Structure 1
């Protein structure tokens, strides 16, 4: 497969970082029983915002873009502070946090998969990079908060939604679709599948120990 230039504009990555910081801070500020302080809320917002990009670049053996471009930290930090400030107003709007999470997954999945393709990664590798980008922030959030890792638990197709979206991007790119169009499809597929799975409680069967005969 021919190597293509990385076509995701900076504003798209900053939008993903901003929404990630907002969603992460809203989530952390809602965990009042854990008595997280202001700094903790901001740190968790930054983890959700930047974690996927950081892990993606490590896997792709690239300099972490979140450290090399100042705007990432500025946008992510400001969004985390905004999320913390808005949480009391939005405390009863649980669907907003869920919706933001789904959209952020789609954005980071699209960026991860398209960046992998631009570096010459194979189709399967690009999908994996997209999934890592999509769920990396949520993984770091769960680790920091000592929560069960979302995609490893019985849940609503967390990683599957990310993989389906990234897979669609790779397929469309193979057929010559422009990356912005393929990326938009990735976001829509990821977010839609994630939200539909939550709405109808779609899950994989839980593993169970084999019973002795």
Structure 2
């Protein structure tokens, strides 16, 4: 698979962190039923930007790069401010947030799974780490905002989209496809599955309906 000499380029992680910061700030700015101040919007942006990477490194028993390297916090904070500034321009448009959310999930999923493989983690473990990296920022965001956790909520298919993308990456890498190409495919698959789930209202049945005895 991958050797420990493989390194994810820093600029890729920073791009993911930047997009995550923008998406998190946009999400917080669009919560019209909550009075979130400027600092709160920036904090939510940083949480979305760095949360997945933080959980990924904790699971992998690695030093959290988002804490030990200055650039992550700088990029996360700046991108959160940017997201807050552009939020009024798309105040009534939810699609940019949904699409950006899907892209961010794909990026963090690809980065997390690739890092797990490079550390010698097996296929199944790398799949789990990839999904954690993909949805971790959104999960921490929902916890902080006291919202229903997205990937557990009916009709989101967050974890399914993340798993589809990460699973595709792992399959391609096992077949010898170069990691950058496999990573791009991962982002594409995650984004497409997530958007299609929204467009066509794909969902798993609610457990109460699934377990209800037929009349």
TM-score by length of 2: 0.95
1:206 and 2:185 matched? no
- Does the CA contact (< 8 Å) of 1:7 and 1:179 recur in 2? no
Report the secondary structure of 1:24's partner residue.
helix
What is the distance in 2 between the residues matched to 1:127 and 1:167?
A: 6
Q: Map 1:51-200 onto structure 2 (within 5 A).
A: 51-200=51-200
- Does the CA contact (< 8 Å) of 2:58 and 2:64 recur in 1? yes
What is the distance in 1 between the residues matched to 2:103 and 2:80?
A: 16
Q: Deviations over 1:147-201 (max 9, x none)?
A: 0001111123110010011011111111111110110010000011000111100
- Does the CA contact (< 8 Å) of 1:52 and 1:136 recur in 2? yes
RMSD between superposed Cα atoms in Å: 1.4
Q: Deviations over 1:42-68 (max 9, x none)?
A: 110001000000000000000001011
Q: How many residues align?
A: 213
- Does the CA contact (< 8 Å) of 2:150 and 2:156 recur in 1? no
Q: Which residue of 2 aligns with 1:8?
A: 8
What is the distance in 2 between the residues matched to 1:165 and 1:116?
A: 15
What is the distance in 1 between the residues matched to 2:80 and 2:167?
A: 30
Report the secondary structure of 1:34's partner residue.
coil
Deviation at 1:29, TM superposition (A): 1.0
Deviation at 1:2, TM superposition (A): 5.9
Deviation at 1:6, TM superposition (A): 3.0
1:42 and 2:23 matched? no
Report the secondary structure of 1:32's partner residue.
coil
What is the distance in 2 between the residues matched to 1:2 and 1:19?
A: 27
Deviation at 1:31, TM superposition (A): 1.2
* CA separation of 1:136 and 1:107: change in aligned 2, threshold 3 A: same
Segments of 5+ residues of structure 2 without an aligned counterpart are none
Report the secondary structure of 1:182's partner residue.
helix
